[in-house]
């Protein structure tokens, strides 16, 4: 007698230890693959019919049963606490209840190894679309901020020390650049995983005359079928790649969050977060805490950890499938969902952040941010830059002693320290003048910032359609399946 209800129980007579049975069960996490699993079951059944294993009438019964089960789960949800071992067992049992032995025959020539590999790629396609949409939304919020503040000065920083004036718009677009690279990474990862493992069997391929090209096309894989059955069932580098792309997104979100948290501090007071994304203190009535951005910054660690966990899981596995891989999905999928949520929250926080333009402009004139421009003025008057650097350093020291900015040096001091110059320092070293001088591609000059805003608006108009990247929206119904992670497969 085989293990009751187990797909693999033919050789076994005893029963699993209850504790181990619970330990190895994955349905609570891999139920999110339920609709993708129905999709692979239908495509495989069509391939079986084309190979002469199913009759047209049997295929019609299978199709009707799958449609009915999908409709039922769409309305009632996938049962997370079901006794089934995993989502594949659940689907097979439910279909067998509806169409009898035909539901069991659907597994002909197929393994859970190639089945879950295919399910997961289908599900990941939808998650990538969600991440791309999140990046687009956040970038749109930042571009709007840049458009509104293209010419608004603020202090720029290196080493968290005031360095040179920039515009608020230039700062916003810096984060857009980073996020756009993240988007490119996700699109590249999509194309590399856009191949169909179904038909690879457990590790050696199927014995049936399956048209794998047609099977891949039926499931929407534009890259065709995978070319090696061992690799198809064992490969998880596409998961690691998505984990890295997500970790990089979260690293960039954390950097954006850190900037905005500092800008909102009482010490900086460059911006204030609105009520929609702030909370207060249960003790201190005056507090307005930047909780949205702090949570984004904090959650980055979990996503970075998922990348390391995946790499550690796959680093020593022999070909082909090993049960260690059960943990790949429950590691990756929460990280993808976390990243998607953080993108939405970060966009919300940016939209609800109001810059104090007057204070930013005032502070852009303080802290000797114009020292480099003063050195450049000396260079224009024939002083070698290295000498000009030393001359300006001495002028800064004297300004600090007098408690004034460089542009406010008394006339006598300015003539003594800077005899090479005969210019109005207030005009030449004003923040607006400094910004206008950076009139090169990539510079912070307001006109350049406006040009970049226009360029990004055009690019994001193209982003709005995934087809522009060669990514076709997929009709998988994964959104019907509640849950944050995924789990189990083996043969």
Per-residue confidence (pLDDT) for residue 489, from 0 to 100 = 43
- Nearest CA-CA partner of 426 in 471, 365, 353: 365
Helices (H) and strands (E) in the chain, counts: 20, 4
Question: pLDDT tens across 359-407, in order?
Answer: 999 999 999 999 999 999 999 999 999 999 999 999 999 999 999 999 9
User: ∠236-239-242 over CA atoms, to 5°?
Assistant: 150
Question: pLDDT tens across 93-131, in order?
Answer: 999 999 999 999 999 999 999 999 999 999 999 999 999
The pTM for the full model equals: 0.91
281 catalytic? Reply is yes
* Burial class of 442 by CB neighbour count within 10 A (0 to 12, 13 to 18, 19+): exposed
Question: pLDDT tens across 397-453, in order?
Answer: 999 999 999 999 999 999 999 999 999 999 999 999 999 999 999 999 999 999 999
Domains of the chain: 9-105 (1.10.275.10), 112-362+453-480 (1.20.200.10), 364-448 (1.10.40.30)
Per-residue confidence (pLDDT) for residue 304, from 0 to 100 = 97
| Backbone angles phi and psi of 277, in degrees to 5 | -130, 20
Question: pLDDT tens across 138-183, in order?
Answer: 999 999 999 999 999 999 999 999 999 999 999 999 999 999 999 9
| Beta pairing partners, 272 | 354
The CA distance from 241 to 489, in Å, is: 20
265 catalytic? Reply is no
Per-residue confidence (pLDDT) for residue 473, from 0 to 100 = 56
- Cβ neighbors of 316 (< 8 A, separation 6 or more) are none
Question: Quick one: pLDDT band at residue 11, thresholds 50, 70, 90?
Answer: low
Q: 């995924």: which residue's tokens?
A: 486
Per-residue confidence (pLDDT) for residue 331, from 0 to 100 = 95
The CA distance from 260 to 102, in Å, is: 59
Neighbours of 312 (CB within 10 A): 11
The active-site residue, picked from 2, 72, 191, 281, is 281
- Cβ neighbors of 307 (< 8 A, separation 6 or more) are 240, 243, 244, 246, 247, 335
Per-residue confidence (pLDDT) for residue 6, from 0 to 100 = 64
Q: 């609800």: which residue's tokens?
A: 352
Question: Quick one: pLDDT band at residue 12, thresholds 50, 70, 90?
Answer: low
Q: Is the pLDDT of residue 475 over 80?
A: no
Neighbours of 338 (CB within 10 A): 19
| Beta pairing partners, 155 | 165
Question: pLDDT tens across 14-64, in order?
Answer: 777 778 777 778 888 889 999 999 999 999 999 999 999 999 999 999 999
Question: pLDDT tens across 62-100, in order?
Answer: 999 999 999 999 999 999 999 999 999 999 999 999 999
Per-residue confidence (pLDDT) for residue 10, from 0 to 100 = 61
Coil, strand or helix: which one is 482? coil
Question: Are the beta carbons of 30 and 487 closer than 8 angstroms?
Answer: yes
The CA distance from 128 to 239, in Å, is: 11
Q: Is 382 left (phi over 0), alpha (psi -120 to 50) or beta?
A: left
Percent of the chain with pLDDT over 90: 85
The CA distance from 217 to 45, in Å, is: 14
Torsion (CA) 216, 217, 220, 224 in degrees, nearest 10: 50
Q: Is the pLDDT of residue 480 over 90?
A: no
């Amino acid at each position: 007698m085989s293990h009751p209800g187990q797909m693999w129980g033919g050789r076994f007579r005893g029963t699993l230890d209850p504790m181990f049975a619970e330990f190895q069960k994955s349905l609570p996490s891999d139920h999110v693959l339920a609709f993708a699993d129905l999709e692979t079951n239908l495509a495989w059944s069509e391939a079986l019919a084309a190979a002469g294993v199913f009759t047209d009438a049997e295929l019609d019964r299978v199709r009707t049963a799958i449609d009915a089960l999908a409709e039922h789960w769409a309305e009632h949800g996938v049962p997370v606490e079901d006794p089934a071992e995993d989502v594949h067992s659940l689907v097979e049992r439910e279909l067998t209840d509806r169409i009898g032995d035909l539901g069991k025959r659907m597994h002909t020539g197929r393994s859970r190894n190639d089945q879950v590999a295919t399910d997961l790629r289908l599900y990941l396609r939808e998650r990538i679309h969600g991440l791309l949409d999140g990046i687009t939304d956040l970038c749109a919020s930042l571009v709007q901020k840049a458009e509104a503040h293209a010419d608004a000065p603020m202090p720029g920083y290196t080493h968290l020390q005031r360095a040179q004036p920039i515009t608020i718009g230039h700062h916003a677009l810096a984060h857009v650049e980073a996020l756009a690279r993240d988007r490119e990474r996700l699109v590249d990862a999509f194309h590399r995983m856009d191949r169909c493992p179904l038909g690879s069997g457990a590790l050696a391929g199927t014995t049936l005359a399956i048209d794998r090209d047609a099977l891949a096309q039926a499931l929407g894989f534009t890259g065709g079928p995978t070319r090696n059955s061992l690799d198809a069932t064992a490969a998880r580098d596409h998961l690691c790649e998505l984990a890295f792309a997500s970790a990089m997104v979260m690293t960039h979100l954390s950097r954006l969050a850190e900037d905005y948290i500092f800008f909102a501090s009482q010490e900086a007071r460059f911006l204030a977060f609105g009520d929609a994304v702030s909370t207060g203190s249960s003790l201190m009535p005056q507090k307005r805490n930047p909780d949205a951005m702090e949570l984004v910054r904090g959650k980055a660690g979990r996503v970075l950890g998922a990348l390391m966990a995946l790499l550690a899981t796959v680093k020593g596995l022999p070909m082909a499938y090993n049960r260690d891989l059960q943990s790949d999905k429950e590691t990756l999928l929460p990280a993808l969902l976390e990243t998607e949520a953080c993108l939405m929250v970060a966009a919300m926080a940016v939209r609800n952040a109001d810059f104090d333009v007057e204070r930013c402009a005032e502070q852009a004139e303080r802290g000797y941010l114009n020292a480099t421009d003063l050195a450049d003025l000396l260079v224009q008057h024939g002083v070698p830059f290295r000498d000009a650097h030393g001359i300006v350093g001495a002028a800064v020291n004297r300004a600090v002693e007098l408690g004034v900015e460089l542009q406010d040096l008394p006339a006598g001091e300015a003539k003594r320290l800077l005899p090479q110059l005969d210019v109005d320092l207030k005009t030449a070293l004003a923040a607006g003048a400094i910004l206008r001088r950076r009139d090169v591609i990539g510079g912070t000059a307001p006109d350049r910032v406006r040009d970049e805003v226009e360029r990004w608006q055009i690019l994001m108009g193209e982003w709005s359609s995934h087809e522009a990247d060669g990514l076709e929206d997929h009709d998988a119904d994964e959104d019907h399946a509640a849950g944050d992670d995924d789990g189990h497969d083996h043969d």
